[in-house]
Chains A and B, each alone.
Chain A
Amino acid sequence: MNDTPHGDAGTDPAEVVARLRDRATFIRTETVRLIEIAKVGHYSSVFSAAEILATLYYDVMHLTPERPDDPDRDRFTIGKGHAAVGMYPILADLGYYPMSALDTYAHLGSAFGDHPDMTKIPGIDFSSGSIGHALSNGIGMALAGRMEGRDFSVFVMLGDGEMQEGQVWEAAMSAAHHKLDRVVAIVDRNGFQLDGEVDDIIGIEPIAEKWRAFGWRVVEVDGHDVEAVRTVLREAKHREPDGVPTCVIARTSKGKGVAYMEEEPGWHLGYLAPQDAERAVAEIRNTKTKGADV
């Protein structure tokens, strides 16, 4: 059940994919717009995850914006919480709050900051900011959901650098042990963290083997190929229960959509002055990520 995409992506696969690509573009351009308000932000962390976020929110997850606390809604938690600036426009677009609410982004007392806050923002299932907690939060949701007889899936997005946190592996071990097949971890494998390349800082490979060794089913996918991402996430959600949680390793490009960001990892955190922002938006609109019509 719960196969009711709320994002109105449609039913024709080609149309859905085109729609999701359009929404990924929307996420990127809105990110540029919002960061302009704060004068600082995490562009490239959002850009690597844009297709995944679009696919989850507009197609895969069962969402109830009219009832954000619906106990049977699917859940999403995010360990790389600094990508929240890309989530806020989605939630507004879906109707959790008016788009104009985002005008307060980063203002004094605003609900909307660099990391998502469940106590202030409808549609945020769990707060983050402290790296390494989100998988545990999601596992707790799944445990309670099973106890309470609820029917929902939990999607958890992790940064690849986040896998350096020990708590991630405590959680990974726990999910398999407790047979939480409604948990789907998505590793945004963009290869970079704040100080440089993940594999130079503290290498995490071979990550697929690690997750498998912890008892997970592992699926690898091009994280910018909407059609492939959609297939993988829908399969993860709808497959027959077998007690095995799913880890999707999404190979992505940090800064995807803006060429100079893809080439320069420093854009993990930065600011585009107005002219550069305009050029970035133009490039984002012209970039063709993979999809049904490519």
Chain B
Amino acid sequence: MSSTLDAGSWQYRALNELNPGLDYLSLGLEDLVAAGAPVVAGTADLTYSNGLNRFQASHPDRFVQFGISEQHMVSAAAGMATAGTMPFVATFASFLGLLCCEQIRMDVAYTKLPVRLVGHHTGISLGFYGTSHHATEDISTMRAIAGLTVVSPADGPQLRAAIRASADWPEPIYFRISRGRDPQVYGDGVEFEFGKGIEHLRGTDVTIIACGILVHAALQAAERLAEEGVSVGVVDMPTVKPLDEDLVRDVAGRTGVIITAEEHNIIGGLGAAVAEVLAEHPGGARLFRHGIRDEYSLIAAPTRLYAHYRLDGPGLAEVVREQLEPRS
């Protein structure tokens, strides 16, 4: 029977063709394998969501399907790491960062094993799927785990670079990545250095420190505000832990206001990490943490949600304007 499907129809297994951005996780792993790293990839019934189907096809002998058993997957990854491999295991960030928190603490971080945890579909990117699928606590929970590095790349190319760089990173890592159809900030071939922020723009009025998809929004906001005569600095802070404290203190000394931007609860996330630095090293800058303000996010299509929570370029520009208004 020939297909009578409408041209606009799509199905799950065709996701990668629709969203080439989903390939970056696999591309990074393929880079590592090519460089001789003993990579093993695993997922919990989400190969098409995170694009690991590409790696599964290219390296079937280095791939494990765990099925819907996230906690088992994390503990098994730790076991795999004791036997000479470097496991990358991926599932929705909401499940990895909360459901598997204890397995991550005891089996991965306390043991100092080279396990790489990949939480994808961060923040509110799963939109109408609902609050269960929204990940607005994972930075907080993962950041509180001693010895765990937390990385939130801005886009696919930066994720790929971070994965390549992870070959030499001695600690276990939590990668927090979005959903693969995010606007790109970087081009292919970008480099990554753990623990280093990237100052895209130097501003004199305000500096936005962002991570994940908010980096793109921050650059958009800065462009708009520049037209209005506002000088906005933008820092991409992909390594939330260990935080680039020197850069935070540096920009705090140069601008009067710092605004952190993240698709995460402002409690415990990037904003909190920056606040901790400024609390111990007051540099004169006032801090405003922008994100989800300690609430459960609404459901809607992602674009609508980002607009509602002012986590897109126009919304973030509004937030900056408000923070720069004269304060009585």
Contacts and interface: CB of A to CB of B under 8 A. Distances in A.
Contacts of B83: 71, 75, 140-141, 144-145, 148, 150
Contacts of B71: 136, 166-167, 170
Nearest to B106: A130
B310 to A, nearest CB: 40
Q: Which of A75, A130, A147, A177 has its CB near the most chain B CB atoms (within 10 A)?
A: A147
A277 to B, nearest CB: 32
B111 A119 contact: yes
Contacts of B79: 77, 126, 136-144
Interface in A173-189: 173-174, 177-178
B277 interface: no
B78 A129 contact: no
Contacts of A125: 82
Q: Which of A144, A147, A170, A173 has its CB near the most chain B CB atoms (within 10 A)?
A: A144
Given A127-B110, A133-B107, A173-B69, A167 B85 contact: no
Contacts of A150: 83-84
Nearest to B79: A140
A118 interface: yes
A157 interface: no
Contacts of B84: 71, 144, 148, 150
Contacts of B111: 118-119, 126-127
Given A119-B111, A125-B82, A133-B107, A140 B75 contact: yes
A147 B107 contact: no
A250 to B, nearest CB: 22
A171 interface: yes
B62 A136 contact: no
B40 A144 contact: yes
Contacts of A148: 38, 83-85
B85 A144 contact: yes
Contacts of B69: 167, 170-171, 173-174
Contacts of A130: 102-103, 106-107
Majority-rule SS of A interface residues: helix
A147 B84 CA distance: 10
A147 B33 CA distance: 14
B80 A136 contact: no
Interface string A131-173: 0010011111111110110100000000000000011001101
A167 B67 CA distance: 13
B80 A133 contact: no
Interface residues of A, number: 32
Nearest to B66: A174
B77 interface: yes
Contact of B106 (A75, A127, A147): A127
A173 B76 contact: no
Contact of B67 (A118, A142, A145, A173): A173
B87 to A, nearest CB: 8
Contacts of B74: 136
A167 B72 CA distance: 6
B64 to A, nearest CB: 6
Contacts of A127: 106-107, 110-111
Contacts of A141: 79-80, 82-83
Q: Which of B38, B83, B87 has its CB near the most chain A CB atoms (within 10 A)?
A: B83
17 contacts: A119-B110, A126-B79, A126-B111, A136-B103, A139-B76, A140-B79, A140-B83, A141-B82, A144-B79, A144-B82, A144-B84, A144-B85, A167-B72, A167-B103, A174-B72, A177-B67, A178-B64
Interface of A: 71, 75, 77, 118-119, 125-127, 129-130, 133, 136-145, 147-148, 150, 166-167, 170-171, 173-174, 177-178
Given A148-B38, A148-B83, 8 more contacts: A126-B82, A126-B107, A130-B103, A136-B76, A137-B82, A140-B87, A147-B40, A177-B67
